[in-house]
Amino acid sequence: MLTMEEMSGALQPQGEAEGRVAIGADPLLMEQRLGRLIREARYRYPKVTVSPRQLSAHNAAESVARGETQLAVVAFEDGADTLPDDLTVEKLPALTLVPVASPALAATPVTDAQRPVRVLTVNADCAGHLPLVRILRSRYGVDPAVIEAGSVGGVRELARAGYGLAMIPPDDSLAAQGLQIVPGVPHAELDVRLVYSRADHLGRADRSIAELIRRMPAPTPAECAGDAPYSVELDKLLAS
């Protein structure tokens, strides 16, 4: 005799995904990629509800292991962070970040001793500010203060007000936002990973959304004022 769950499944169209999928993402990816994913999921899988939750690379593994999120999309600096072997980890297109500031601050050399150098970030667990801090220390001998703004919107607002430098995903509206790419400072690329439990532990809806994440096109390469992307290896070569 069929259970109620089996009967419900038998009445559903074959292959149709439905249910709720909790997806964790760090703040920068939440802004740049999750919105696009949710729109695509609504179109392709109208019976699937995508529930986004903000997390960091540091707690992504715990969130997935506890079942708080079925999938996590997180960014790491140079792949330095490691994840437990009992989780499945897939590489996704890198996240490009560009250094921005208010036009007045962008025009002031970072080595100007007359002004304090501040780097803006969402919080201490967000990896976006780490490349900029390393660049300023290794290339310019500047040890910046790191200011936590609490959100990506807060980072943009403080940068627009001239309070500090920030690393954010590039887009065509920077000028309209009152921001300008800082010349002479390289852009950065963070490693991005899709994290989940074993594939055979995922439901139909989870697998469908995971496949959408894999198929999302890489963001268009940004014009980054002619500066090559920052890398720890390049800085080591320049210092030798």
Q: Which amino acid is at 100?
A: V
Least confident of 72-81, 100-109, 186-195: 72-81
pLDDT, position 81? 54
Find the angle CA(99)-CA(101)-CA(107) to the nearest 5 degrees.
100
pLDDT, position 235? 41
| Joined tokens for residue 32 | 């740049």
Q: 85-140: per-residue pLDDT in tens? A: 788 899 999 999 999 999 999 998 887 767 789 999 999 888 889 999 999 999 88
One DSSP character per residue, 5-26 reads: HHHHHHHSPTT---EEEEEEE-
State the CB neighbour count (10 A cutoff) for residue 178. 16
Instruction: Tell me the C-alpha distance between 21 and 210, whole Å.
Output: 10
Instruction: Tell me the C-alpha distance between 221 and 172, whole Å.
Output: 12
Instruction: Tell me the C-alpha distance between 21 and 63, whole Å.
Output: 13
pLDDT, position 161? 95
The stretches of the chain forming alpha helices (DSSP H) are 4-11, 27-29, 35-44, 60-65, 103-106, 130-140, 152-160, 204-215, 232-239
Instruction: Tell me the C-alpha distance between 158 and 146, whole Å.
Output: 12
Name the band, by pLDDT with cuts 50, 70 and 90, for residue 218. Answer: low
State the CB neighbour count (10 A cutoff) for residue 115. 11
Average pLDDT over residues 155-167: 95
Q: 15 or 48: which carries more pLDDT confidence?
A: 48
In three-state secondary structure terms, 68 is coil
Q: Could you tell me what percent of the chain has a pLDDT over 70?
A: 82
pLDDT, position 79? 56
Average pLDDT, the chain: 82
Average pLDDT over residues 202-206: 90
pLDDT, position 223? 43
pLDDT, position 212? 93
Q: Max CA-CA distance within the chain?
A: 80
Q: 212 or 76: which carries more pLDDT confidence?
A: 212
